[in-house]
Structure 1
Amino acid sequence: MATLLHIDTSVFPEGGSASRAVTAAFRKTWEEQHPDGTVIYRDLGIAPLPHLDGVAASAGFSDPATHSPEQQTAFALRTELAEELERADAILIGAPMYNFTIPSTLKAWLDQVIIMGRTSGAEPSAKGTPVTVVASRGGSYAPGTPREGFEYVQNYLEAVLGGGLGLEVDFIVPELTMAPANEAMADLIPKYEASRDKALEDASAKAKALVDRFTA
């Protein structure tokens, strides 16, 4: 039985969140295709993790036998997150663009879960695990658009998830999500709808393909 690690980070509930709508479509297909599987779910928008501090960081670079009580507590969370990552056969992350980059809650998760010599380093412990990132955004930052140079979500996550954690990274990118709410973008609503529909279709297709990969 395969395990999916599902992480949502939008500050908005599913009815008002483009990224949550797509991760929900992915998970729905995953569970329909693999009802005996396991889903580990973290909603960082509702239950954010603490940002990495000096106590937790220093614990990652010292012998556990020497940890102070404070370091033990801080490192227990990092260990829990690392174990969730390592248990996963596939990972699903909702990563809406906020102010040109990822939500701070997702950055907090990354800072906690990246442990040099374990999840990161020469042989990352989750190396090769497929991760599907739903990188929604209010406008378009695609190659050739005026704001291409402001795209700091995919570029960053490709580096940290792929280069740092050794994961197999794939993106679904619903864009122009502000078009229905912004009169200045009204002409872009058809493109937004097409992007939304494709993202939902891609989510279901990618979930099914991953289930097939692990249950074949």
Structure 2
Amino acid sequence: MATLLHIDSSALYENSVSREVTGIFRKEWESQHPGGTVIYRDLAAEPLPHLTEDGIVAALTPVDTHTPAQTEALALRSALADELERADVVVIGTPMYNFSLPSVLKAWIDQVAIVGRTLGETSSVAGKPITVVAARGGGYGPGTPRESYEFLTTYLEKALTGLLGAEVDFIVPELTLARSQPAMADLVDAADASRAKAREDAVVKAKTLAARFAA
């Protein structure tokens, strides 16, 4: 049966747009694959440790030379790589924090990108479809004043394709702060439209990918 890896990284819960949209994606996926498997990681609730020297060295040296700390560090990296390799489809929810991604998501990428396994031309996850729900509080699209400040989708597209060789697609709800920031009051309609489109896109993308990996 098909397997979905669902990752959330927003520090918010009740008011998180990225969590809302990944939840819609997952619900549609599960409706298409009721007997399938979902692997879920909430990186905000259970943050991964940052990549350390032990984790780097362990991935580059023979197992029989590892210290206990290196063995432990590599075990975590291997477990995360196993999850990614097992998944037929991945959906990642992330907000933009200070023009980029949450550190907890960066930690996941650093841990899971393993030389000789998931990283490089012979990546074990090459071609894997990853849908990223990238929620942005303001407007950073082409032609906007802050277009050059957008390092969320630009980084993730390069990291997930360039490092892992994955097939990456984005759903981008914008202006998510419009209803809570008085200075953005005139953007509320645009924000609502962007959020509605993100919900619709999540259903369409999940249904399309579910059909692609039908049993």
TM-score class normalised by the smaller sequence: over 0.9
C-alpha contact 2:121 2:165 (8 A) present in aligned 1: no
Structure 2 partner of 1:7: 7
Which secondary structure state, in structure 2, belongs to the residue aligned with residue 77 of structure 1?
helix
Task: Write out aligned runs for 1:40-119 (5 A).
Answer: 40-119=39-118
Task: Write out aligned runs for 1:135-174 (5 A).
Answer: 135-174=134-173
Structure 2 partner of 1:37: 36
Deviation at 1:129, TM superposition (A): 0.6
Mapped partners of 2:130, 2:61: distance in 1: 30
Partner deviation per Cα, 1:44-89 (whole Å, 9 max, x = no partner): 0100000011111111111112111110011000000001010010
Question: Which stretches in structure 1 are left out of the alignment for 5+ residues?
Answer: none
Letter in 2 for 1:6: H
Mapped partners of 2:28, 2:128: distance in 1: 19
Question: Which stretches of structure 1, 4 residues or more, deviate above 6 A after TM superposition?
Answer: none
Mapped partners of 1:86, 1:93: distance in 2: 15
Deviation at 1:95, TM superposition (A): 1.4
C-alpha contact 2:92 2:132 (8 A) present in aligned 1: yes
Deviation at 1:156, TM superposition (A): 0.5
Task: Write out aligned runs for 1:134-213 (5 A).
Answer: 134-213=133-212
Q: TM-score, normalised by structure 2?
A: 0.99
Partner deviation per Cα, 1:81-118 (whole Å, 9 max, x = no partner): 00101001000000110000000000000010000110
Partner deviation per Cα, 1:163-216 (whole Å, 9 max, x = no partner): 110000000000000000000000000000000000000001100000111117
Structure 2 partner of 1:124: 123
Question: Which stretches in structure 2 are left out of the alignment for 5+ residues?
Answer: none
- Matched residue pairs, number? 215
Deviation at 1:147, TM superposition (A): 0.2
Mapped partners of 2:32, 2:81: distance in 1: 27
Which secondary structure state, in structure 2, belongs to the residue aligned with residue 141 of structure 1?
coil
What RMSD in Å do the two structures reach over aligned CA positions? 0.7
Which secondary structure state, in structure 1, belongs to the residue aligned with residue 107 of structure 2?
helix
Q: Percent identity?
A: 60
